[in-house]
Structure 1
């Protein structure tokens, strides 16, 4: 994966998006031009945005704003990103300021060797900043979500964090209408909420290090 070529392709993709080219068509055009693999196209898809979309970064809040405020966590989104970081897989620092994985793991995800470490990092981080109440949401259609919910509940209890863990069919319905901050890097959810905290990104930056983060600017 050549970073110089990726940055050139990102520039071209960004140029087309800023001129209102359809996203899928622009990605196909740029990907074909540079003969990119699926993984390289995923980097562009998850990391490059039009100028108007990059303004999502204005919704980001600092971790200090979590104190005594309600917080909803997009569970699988945060866990998959953190577990990718723990595995040493590539991550992308996107144009909108959020750190994202490129693992394509959502459909095939199941709790594994790194899940407990990721949950520990999440709860230890939140313990230091004390949200008022936490709603930790998981996608119930994803494999072993009930088992994962039980583990997450134990972690909340052990860290004396007030909140609940729910496995629901469509977490986005709850997250999009949540009145407080939402911890996610899902661009569709970010569009629908007023305040976003990049929980996985914060932990990666300040607890795990940024050596696997790819920057396309």
Structure 2
């Protein structure tokens, strides 16, 4: 009886062990790919060439490619972003849709903490038309601003469907909004501190603030650099 029970336990443990081994292998492969990708970026390779090289070397899936592209940066890029982070501000301009979508993605386990300290998702804007979810996320951001003692203005893309309706709803819970047809340009040229996770905006804006860091739960990617 004891021998049969032991055999049954071993038979159950074997698939579990294989699954654990496969997961470890996945983590190691992505970690190695991220290390090589960052190395190439630091050596001056373009993102496209570096990503093409590691994709071919490690046979990355489309999601894995996107994860590295969105979450790994060169040391110089990270330093540039960190130097712009400011605490000397009273008003924050919020990149509304980008941050709201990342909060939605985080609630679904689809957002990641990237190596520059900013939270990003892999959905590429697929929740932009989810009015109720967007508004709920903007309300959460507004509460974060209030807890920080800062004035927040949400900058929303006027070309996105129902953005006008969303702006009206935001005003109901005390939030201020600006509708713009050129959100990226508006934020990049603003004198106020900007809260965004868009890499281009972070690199080009005059002052930035990371309001979501340590405030929402996200995945840690299968890599460390």
TM-score range, shorter chain: 0.7 to 0.9
Q: CA separation of 1:37/1:88 partners in 2, compared to 1, >3 Å: closer, same or farther?
A: same
Structure 1 position 151, deviation (Å): 1.8
Secondary structure in structure 1 of the residue aligned to 2:112 = strand
Aligned to 2:200: 188
Aligned length: 199
Equivalents in 1 of 2:31, 2:85: separation in Å? Answer: 25
Alignment partner of 1:124 is 2:155 = no
Alignment RMSD: 2.1
Aligned to 1:94: 114
Structure 1 position 28, deviation (Å): 1.4
Equivalents in 2 of 1:167, 1:34: separation in Å? Answer: 43
Contact 1:121 1:203 in 2 (8 A): no
Aligned to 2:128: 109
TM-score norm. by structure 1 comes to 0.82
Unpaired runs of at least 5, structure 2: 1-22
Q: CA separation of 1:17/1:113 partners in 2, compared to 1, >3 Å: closer, same or farther?
A: same
Structure 1 position 113, deviation (Å): 5.0
Equivalents in 2 of 1:3, 1:137: separation in Å? Answer: 37
> Once the two structures are superposed, what CA deviation does each residue of 1:167-211 show, in whole Å capped at 9, x if it has no partner?
21111121111112100011111112232112233421xxxx34x
Structure 1 position 119, deviation (Å): 2.3
> Once the two structures are superposed, what CA deviation does each residue of 1:3-39 show, in whole Å capped at 9, x if it has no partner?
2211110001011111111211111121122121111
| Structure 2 counterparts to residues 72-83 of structure 1, below 5 A | 72-83=93-104
| Structure 2 counterparts to residues 167-186 of structure 1, below 5 A | 167-186=179-198
Structure 1 position 215, deviation (Å): 5.9
TM-score norm. by structure 2 comes to 0.80
Equivalents in 2 of 1:181, 1:213: separation in Å? Answer: 27
Contact 1:80 1:105 in 2 (8 A): yes
Secondary structure in structure 1 of the residue aligned to 2:73 = coil
Contact 1:49 1:96 in 2 (8 A): yes
Aligned to 1:148: 166
